[in-house]
Amino acid sequence: MRPRSHRVGSVVVLLALAVGCRQEPPAPTPALNNSGVTSTAAVAHEAVSAEPPFHLEEGFEPLAFADFEAFDAQADTWAATDEGLKCSGKPKGYLYSKQPYQNFTLRLDYRFPRPDNLKDEAKFKGNTGFLVYITGEHKLWPMCLEVQGKHVQMAAIKENGGAEPVKAEEDDAARQQARKPVG
């Protein structure tokens, strides 16, 4: 049986996708190598607090904004910025890679703008996701698996668009340790 190729996508439901989770403006990074959404991903950024800088590993391929197509989004929904990709979240839609990928590692950082009135991060409702193995027609939402980007469910794996349910072991302690503060 021949392996099927799939596309990598990024779902948007109120998302600002950016490199790192910091308030201050970032130092300049290489042009569009910081798209934030990658197949065998690479996101270059300066060290933030105690985090070491990200270095592109051998065999990893950075993807730029130009490597993606938008589905069901207006021209101003998505934009490349110095920090990475920024999305308005309206209308709902997603980016998908122009080139299909089969066996890949997805590495990225994302963040949500911090609302001025946010007091309790456990109640933050920021929501996004990263679609992988998109198959069939493009629609809201296509048949695929989603790596959840919703703040309270970060990294959970779920099915969309009629895909077979996936069995994934949840590790809330790892999720809590990996989650950065909103903003």
Dihedral angle computed from the Cα positions of residues 23, 127, 132 and 72, in that order, rounded to the nearest 10 degrees: -100
Helix (H) or strand (E) holding 95: strand 93-97
Say whether pLDDT at 8 is over 80.
Answer: no
Averaged pLDDT for residues 125-140:
93
Confidence (pTM): 0.69
125: phi > 0 → left, psi -120 to 50 → alpha, else beta; which? Answer: alpha
- CA-CA distance, 35 to 69, in Å (whole number)? 13
Say whether pLDDT at 14 is over 60.
Answer: no
pLDDT digits (tens, 9 = 90+) for 158-177: 999 999 998 989 999 998 89
- Greater confidence (73 vs 4) lies with 73
